[in-house]
Amino acid sequence: MPLHPKIQRALEKNARLPPMESFSPAEIRAGEMAAYAAVPRREVAHVEDRLIAGPRGELKVRIYRPDAEGGHPLMTFFHGSGFVICSLDTHDGLCRQLCACAGAVVVSVDYALAPENKFPAAVDDCLAAVRWSGEHAPDLGGDRLRHVLAGDSAGGALALVTAMRIRDEGGPPIKAQILMYPVADYPDPEPPSYRERGTGCGLTAAAMHYFWGHYLRDRADGEHPHASPLRATDFTRLPATYVMIAEYDPLRDEGERLVDKLVAAGIDTTCVRYADMNHGFMSWVGIIDRSAEALQAACEWLASRL
């Protein structure tokens, strides 16, 4: 299928812009804030920021509640970023949509970004935040036994790695996880989708190398399963998993390989491949119809697992 026409028009509009990797992380972060400014902010009952204890000091989270009642599903969410950019604010719109659609208390995590804090700082922040969410679930209006992890892109990697660490190192029970076009592997070697979809589709292969270069301390970190979860040796005893894959995405192939490994390990796995979408399409719920359809499908799957 061709790209969705709204996405195609946006790519054509931005085609003359300098490549992302020609800017500093600080410059990209400022530009991302401007890009996300047009995303609709759906009303939810309550939104608040809190500071919690993290591995290196205070860690900021943003909590979304669908209403004042208790016993809702609890979702800990990790935003996409390439491990370098984006924030609670860039993904505020998506978290509001998840809160309303899933009827869940959403805890969005402001984990440490590279290059200021390289691997494994973000991984450690996310594990601490999930443990905090589980411990404080009743106070947040959430159900500790219906705890879900979710994330897009780099956030998808962080969700999966956190699920693996909780399995191996202990933490609150995790019922399910939603991985939106996740980063799953350090691209050495590059998969075919890096060549097929690495230019002209939004996220580029060059940008991914730029992000990895800022995130890792050295190339050896790329072999570590906490950086590249696809390189883990054990995919058993993970929660039910929903994976979204976009055709026009350099991360397409690693997402599909991840699904194969989960299925082979006997994990309850659902994969939906969006043939007309590119990387990051879930950020445009309220603007692009297919994004809203994808959100609804994920929330329906989640309800069936909870």
DSSP string, 40-53: -----SEEEEEEEE
Cβ–Cβ < 8 Å for 93, 40: yes
Cα distances from 240 to residues 23, 45, 99, 163, 252, in angstroms, run 38, 28, 19, 11, 20
Please tell me the distance from the alpha carbon of residue 204 to that of residue 227, in angstroms, as a whole number. 20
Our count of domains for the chain comes to 1
Residue among 4, 91, 147, 279 flagged as catalytic: 279
pLDDT at 14: 87
Looking at residue 277, what is its pLDDT? 98
> What's the confidence (pLDDT) of residue 36?
82
What pLDDT is stored for residue 39 in this prediction?
Answer: 84
Query: Is 272 within 8 Å of 243 (Cβ atoms)?
Result: yes
pLDDT value of residue 42: 95
Active-site residue, selected from the candidate residues 249, 253, 283, 291: 249
Residue range 22-40, pLDDT digits in tens: 999 999 998 887 778 778 8
Q: What is the CATH number of the domain that holds 119?
A: 3.40.50.1820
Cα–Cα dist 254/256, whole Å: 5
* Cβ partners under 8 Å of residue 227, min gap 6: 119, 120, 123, 186, 215, 216, 221
Instruction: Determine which one of 108, 153, 193, 283 is catalytic.
Output: 153
Task: Residue 250: count other Cβ atoms within 10 Å of its Cβ.
Answer: 29
Structural domain of 161: 5-305
At 261-292, the pLDDT tens digits run: 999 999 999 999 999 999 999 999 999 999 99
Provide the β-strand partners of residue 274: 246
Residues of the chain under the 50 pLDDT cut: none
Q: Is 279 a catalytic residue?
A: yes
| Model pTM above 0.85 | yes
Taking alpha carbons only, the member of 284, 248, 233 closest to residue 40 is: 284
pLDDT of residue 215: 98
Answer positive or negative: Cα dihedral of 149, 155, 160, 161.
negative
